[in-house]
Amino acid sequence: MEPVPAHKTTPYFRRKVFYIPGYDPFPPRRYRELYRKEGAAQAAMQGYRLELMPSKGEGYGWGVRGQVEGRSVETDFRMLVWADLVRDSMATGIVATYAQLFRTAWAYIGSGALFRLMRLRKGPVIAALYPIALLLLQLAVALGAGAMVWTWLGLWGLLPGMALVWLILQGFRRIDRHVFAWYLMHDYAHTAQHGGAYPDDLAQRMEQFGVTIRQAMEQDWDEVLVIGHSSGAHLAVSILADCVRDSVRGKVSLLTLGHVVPMVSFLPKAKALRADLAVMAKGDIPWVDVTAPGDGCAFALCDPVGVSGVATEGQRWPLILSAAFTQTLSPPRWKQLRWRFFRLHFQYLCAFDQLAGKSDDYDYFRITAGPLTLWQRFGARPPSKSRLTQSANKDWDAR
């Protein structure tokens, strides 16, 4: 493991960050705005300085200049974008979405994955069942309204009734930005469509991401930090696992946030991901995984290697840490956010108003714009005592 050295004599610390978002159809500029706003708030509370600068490299990103922990830092922040693939996967009609609902439900129920997932955390399982229940309720409301028209007009009401059903469902879809049922249905359908195997278009995009990361690893950065959030966590694992297999060397670290790995790794055809988890568990790339019990959309404190059934005696990673929202957010702030489940799923990228200010606190902005590598910052911390490491996966499914 990487030792914690004294500060170098170079004038500033240089970091390259690659951020892989989850299943998100929105353009990457929202992440820049989030970083700007929340970074300024965290810096003001913790007494360091951050300044965002224009992007200089290819693709979408931004620069960060910081004065953190007594040292100057420059970070080149790159977004590894697959929002276009997400939008394409969401471009389905009403009938196709309901067909996805039944196929996805069967993928998890028929394989037994749903019942094994229930042994881990209830929150993400409820989140998975939520869009199914709400979409079926919406369908029932629409069909009920249509049936009233058919009853009233008889055969003459067939076409008007069908039109009303379609209009009601279309109306529900248009207000989905408030309830996220259709969005989540597309998310789980995208995961389950090939039984846990990566779709071809996503696999090709991941290969491109891998090439980009490898190029950075060959350059003179003090750290190349790969961050995967939500669904982006298992994408990051698979991309870096190929680097381990190919013995690609570099000062690279992996930070996964709010992971949902079991939603994929428990499916029968997720053999590639399970193999990638096993490789990363014993590799040389420092891997820190951060979740929080307050995040109902993530498998909080679940070791993605262990619970997926691929842990071995030589496992080194990941280091499982808790962002402990109830401790790192003040009582008024926690009360404000507690029932905003989707907002809490992004809290890892935001400011915390009750940090102790220690170098090993979970502080997204110290991690990305501070003068310590990921392992220098967290290597002395013990893993969370509440972590789950016991396999909940089926034996044949973990090979």
DSSP assignment of 41-108: HHHHHHT-EEEEE---SSSSEEEEEEEETTEEEEEEEEE---HHHHHHHH---HHHHHHHHHHHHHHH
Q: Are residues 78 and 222 in the same domain?
A: yes
Q: Is 127 helix (H, G, I), strand (E, B) or coil?
A: helix
What is the pLDDT, as a whole number, of residue 1? Answer: 41
Measure the CA–CA gap between 135 and 163, rounded to whole angstroms. 18
Measure the CA–CA gap between 117 and 388, rounded to whole angstroms. 13
Q: Are residues 361 and 297 in the same domain?
A: yes
Measure the CA–CA gap between 142 and 378, rounded to whole angstroms. 52
Nearest in space to 234 (alpha carbons), one of 216, 257, 210: 257
C-beta atoms surrounding 328 within 10 Å: 22
Domain annotation covers residue 1? no
What is the pLDDT, as a whole number, of residue 128? Answer: 87
Q: Are residues 18 and 119 in the same domain?
A: no
Q: Are residues 257 and 163 in the same domain?
A: no
Burial 45-80 (b: 16+ CB within 10 A, else e): ebebebebeebeeeebbbebebbbbebebbbbbbbb
Q: Are residues 74 and 125 in the same domain?
A: no
Domain annotation covers residue 90? no
Q: Is 366 helix (H, G, I), strand (E, B) or coil?
A: helix
Measure the CA–CA gap between 234 and 246, rounded to whole angstroms. 19
What is the pLDDT, as a whole number, of residue 224? Answer: 97
What is the pLDDT, as a whole number, of residue 177? Answer: 86
What sign has the CA pseudo-torsion 88, 90, 96, 102? positive
Q: Are residues 341 and 219 in the same domain?
A: yes
Measure the CA–CA gap between 186 and 178, rounded to whole angstroms. 16
Helix (H) or strand (E) holding 229, with range, is strand 223-229
Domain-ending residue, one of 172, 192, 212: 192
Domain annotation covers residue 274? yes
Q: Are residues 45 and 188 in the same domain?
A: no
Q: Report CA-CA distances (Å) from 129 to 139, 270, 342, 391.
A: 16, 21, 15, 22
Asked if residues 354 and 313 have their Cβ atoms less than 8 Å apart, the reply is no
Q: Are residues 247 and 179 in the same domain?
A: no
Token duo for residue 78: 């790159």
What is the pLDDT, as a whole number, of residue 358? Answer: 82
What is the pLDDT, as a whole number, of residue 249? Answer: 80
Range of the domain at 176: 96-192
Domain annotation covers residue 221? yes
What is the pLDDT, as a whole number, of residue 393? Answer: 82
CA gyration radius for the chain?
A: 22
Q: Are residues 237 and 373 in the same domain?
A: yes
**Residues with Cβ < 8 Å from 27, sequence gap 6 or more?**
83
Domain annotation covers residue 352? yes
**Residues with Cβ < 8 Å from 60, sequence gap 6 or more?**
28, 29, 32, 78, 79, 81
What is the pLDDT, as a whole number, of residue 345? Answer: 96
Domain-ending residue, one of 192, 225, 255: 192
Quickly tell me which residue has 């009401």 as its tokens.
157
pTM of the model: 0.92
Q: What own/partner pairs with CB < 8 Å and gap ≥ 24 does 160-169 have? A: 166/94, 166/142, 168/138, 168/141, 168/142, 169/94, 169/138, 169/139, 169/142
What is the pLDDT, as a whole number, of residue 157? Answer: 65
Q: What is the pLDDT along the chain (399 residues), one digit of tens a residue?
A: 444 344 444 578 999 999 999 999 998 999 999 999 999 999 999 999 999 998 877 789 999 999 999 899 999 999 999 999 999 999 989 999 999 999 999 999 999 999 999 988 888 898 889 999 999 999 999 999 988 887 887 777 678 888 999 999 999 999 988 888 999 999 999 999 999 999 999 999 999 999 999 999 999 999 999 999 999 999 999 999 999 998 888 899 999 999 999 999 999 999 999 999 999 999 999 999 999 999 999 999 999 999 999 998 889 999 999 999 999 999 999 999 998 989 999 999 999 999 987 888 999 999 999 999 999 999 999 999 999 999 988 654 444
Residue 291 half-sphere exposure toward CB, CA atoms < 13 A:
29
What is the pLDDT, as a whole number, of residue 386? Answer: 93
Domain annotation covers residue 235? yes
C-beta atoms surrounding 85 within 10 Å: 17
Q: Are residues 17 and 45 in the same domain?
A: yes
Q: Are residues 30 and 71 in the same domain?
A: yes
Domain annotation covers residue 112? yes
Q: Are residues 72 and 158 in the same domain?
A: no
Domain-ending residue, one of 143, 162, 192: 192
The conformation of residue 308, written as its DSSP 8-state character, comes to T
Measure the CA–CA gap between 375 and 222, rounded to whole angstroms. 12
Token duo for residue 381: 């911390």
- Count: domains in the chain: 2
Domain annotation covers residue 305? yes
